[in-house]
């Protein structure tokens, strides 16, 4: 699958089943995604993979943070995919690269990973929310004070298998402008005196 097709056909998949990539395959795809733009090559992130009963432990943390009438639904959320890859942001302070740029590098890496997973036949969906910073979740994941969970990439096979149409391209004309439009026009050069017939 070429990169344009991957970008235009990737979807956030809400229904995911086995199989998910094993740890070796995940690490292979991550190594590719980690070649994206990253000022200073700090790689200010790490991943924690949750499978099987680990997902239930995370669900218990979700349930503990809500009212009893919502606990069962919250506990079930991490069971919606066979693999939950938790993205942990590890900002490097005292470095010339500002935190916002480090966060951008983590975002670029995760988007690249989602495209690679899609090209490999896996589906994924990015899920965030208040639970990312809940004390019980931080304790379960073993986060140090400067670290923070950015969210979970739910990964598996799309179910049922489907073929989505190519995305319609958005109109972004209003999002692009030259700093000096008149100067840009003058740089285009004189019109061709002998246009092609």
Query: Could you tell me the CATH number of the domain that includes residue 76?
Result: 3.40.109.10
Q: ω before 71 within 30° of 0 (cis)?
A: no
The H-or-E segment that residue 85 falls in is: strand 83-89
Inside any domain, residue 13? yes
The domain tally of the chain equals: 1
pLDDT value of position 136? 94
pLDDT value of position 31? 97
pTM assigned to the model: 0.85
Inside any domain, residue 142? yes
pLDDT value of position 125? 96
pLDDT value of position 187? 62
Inside any domain, residue 42? yes
Q: Where are the alpha helices (DSSP H) in 23-98?
A: 23-33, 53-64, 68-76
In three-state secondary structure terms, 108 is helix
Inside any domain, residue 195? no
Inside any domain, residue 177? yes
Dmax over Cα atoms in the chain, in whole Å? 78
Inside any domain, residue 193? no
Inside any domain, residue 14? yes
- Name the residue range of residue 15's domain: 9-187
User: For every one of its 197 residues, what pLDDT tens digit does the chain have, with 9 covering 90 and above?
Assistant: 888 888 888 888 989 999 999 999 999 999 999 999 999 989 999 999 999 999 999 999 999 988 999 999 999 999 999 999 999 999 999 889 999 999 999 999 999 999 999 999 999 999 998 899 999 999 999 999 999 999 999 999 997 766 667 788 899 999 999 888 888 666 655 555 555 55
Is the CB of residue 123 less than 8 Å from the CB of residue 133? no
Distance of CA 160 to the CA centre of its chain: 22
pLDDT value of position 141? 96
pLDDT value of position 7? 85
Inside any domain, residue 4? no
């Amino acid at each position: 699958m070429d990169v344009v097709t991957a970008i235009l056909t990737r979807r956030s998949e809400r229904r995911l089943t086995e199989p998910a990539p094993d740890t070796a395959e995940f690490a292979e795809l991550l190594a590719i995604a980690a070649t994206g733009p990253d000022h200073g090559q700090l790689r200010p992130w790490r991943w924690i993979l949750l499978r099987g009963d680990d997902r239930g432990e995370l669900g218990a943390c979700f349930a503990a943070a809500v009212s009893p009438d919502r606990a069962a639904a919250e506990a079930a959320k991490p069971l919606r995919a066979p693999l939950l890859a938790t993205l942990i942001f590890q900002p490097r302070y005292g470095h010339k690269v500002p935190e916002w740029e480090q966060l951008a590098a983590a975002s670029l890496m995760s988007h690249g990973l989602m495209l690679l997973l899609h090209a490999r036949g896996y589906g994924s969906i990015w899920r965030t929310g208040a639970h990312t910073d809940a004390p019980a979740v931080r304790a379960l994941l073993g986060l140090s004070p400067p670290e923070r969970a950015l969210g979970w990439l739910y990964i598996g096979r799309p179910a049922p298998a489907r073929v989505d149409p190519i995305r319609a391209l958005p109109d972004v004309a209003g999002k692009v402008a030259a700093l000096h439009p008149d100067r840009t026009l003058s740089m285009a050069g004189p019109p061709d005196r002998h246009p092609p017939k």
